[in-house]
Structure 1
Amino acid sequence: QGGMSLAQTAGHLLLILLLIEARKTPGNAHSLCLDLTVKSQSRPGQLWCQVQGSVDTKPFLWYDSASNKVKPLGFLGKEVNDTKAWTEISQTLVEAGRELRMVLPVIKLDKNETKGPPTLQVKLCCQREAEQCSGASLHFSLDGQTALLLDTMSITWTVIDPGATGIKEEWENNQELAEYFRTISTGDCSYWLREFLKHWEKMQLPEPTVSSNCLIVMNIMKKSGTTAGEKPAGLWLLGRFVLVRTWES
Structure 2
Amino acid sequence: HSLCLDLTVKTQSRPGQPWCQVQGSVDTKPFLQNDSDSNKVRPLGFLGEEVNNTKAWTELSQTLGEAGRKLRMVLPVIKLDRKEMRERFTVLGGGAGPPTLQIRLCCQCEAEQWSGAALLFNLNGRTALLLDTMNITWTVIDPGATGLKEEWESNQELAEYISKISTGDCSYWLNQFLEHWENMLLPEP
Which is richer in strand?
2
Following superposition, the deviation at residue 166 of structure 1 comes to 1.7
Structure 2 residue identity aligned to 1:41: Q
Structure 2 residue identity aligned to 1:204: L
Tell me, yes or no, if structure 1 residue 76 matches structure 2 residue 47: yes
Name stretches of at least 5 consecutive residues in structure 2 with no aligned partner. Answer: none
Counterpart pick for 1:142 among 123, 140, 143: 123
Following superposition, the deviation at residue 201 of structure 1 comes to 0.7
Following superposition, the deviation at residue 138 of structure 1 comes to 0.5
Aligned CA-pair RMSD: 1.4
Tell me, yes or no, if structure 1 residue 197 matches structure 2 residue 178: yes
Tell me, yes or no, if structure 1 residue 56 matches structure 2 residue 37: no
Residues 70-123 of structure 1 deviation map (CA, whole Å, 9 limit, x = unaligned): 000000000000000000000000011111112212141422211322211100
Question: What residue in structure 2 maps to residue 24 of structure 1?
Answer: none
**How far apart, in 2, do the equivalents of 1:171 and 1:145 lie?**
17
Name which of structure 1's ranges 173-182 and 108-117 shifts more when overlaid on structure 2.
Answer: 108-117
Question: What residue in structure 1 maps to residue 80 of structure 2?
Answer: 108
Identity within the alignment, %: 77
Following superposition, the deviation at residue 66 of structure 1 comes to 1.1
Structure 2 residue identity aligned to 1:48: W
Following superposition, the deviation at residue 180 of structure 1 comes to 0.3
Structure 1 residue identity aligned to 2:99: P
Question: What residue in structure 1 maps to residue 163 of structure 2?
Answer: 182
Structure 2 residue identity aligned to 1:203: M
Tell me, yes or no, if structure 1 residue 153 matches structure 2 residue 134: yes
Tell me, yes or no, if structure 1 residue 121 matches structure 2 residue 93: no
Question: What residue in structure 2 maps to residue 26 of structure 1?
Answer: none
Residues 168-199 of structure 1 deviation map (CA, whole Å, 9 limit, x = unaligned): 11221121111101100000000000000000
**CA contact under 8 A between 1:107 and 1:163: conserved in structure 2?**
no
**CA contact under 8 A between 1:103 and 1:167: conserved in structure 2?**
no
What SS does structure 2 have at the residue aligned with 1:167?
helix
Structure 1 residue identity aligned to 2:18: L
Which is richer in helix?
1
Residues 104-147 of structure 1 deviation map (CA, whole Å, 9 limit, x = unaligned): 12141422211322211100010012323210010001222111
Superposed, 1:1-249 pairs within 5 Å as: 30-43=1-14, 46-105=17-76, 106-109=78-81, 110-114=84-88, 115=92, 116-204=97-185, 206=187
What TM-score do you get using the length of structure 1 for normalisation?
A: 0.68
Following superposition, the deviation at residue 43 of structure 1 comes to 4.8
Residues matched between the structures, number: 177
**How far apart, in 1, do the equivalents of 2:113 and 2:154 lie?**
30
Which has the larger Rg?
1
What SS does structure 1 have at the residue aligned with 2:150?
helix
What TM-score do you get using the length of structure 2 for normalisation?
A: 0.89
Name stretches of at least 5 consecutive residues in structure 1 with no aligned partner. Answer: 1-29, 207-249
What SS does structure 2 have at the residue aligned with 1:90?
helix
**How far apart, in 2, do the equivalents of 1:49 and 1:128 lie?**
28
What SS does structure 2 have at the residue aligned with 1:149?
strand
* Structure with the larger RCO, 1 or 2 (CA within 8 Å, 6+ apart): 1
What SS does structure 1 have at the residue aligned with 2:23?
strand
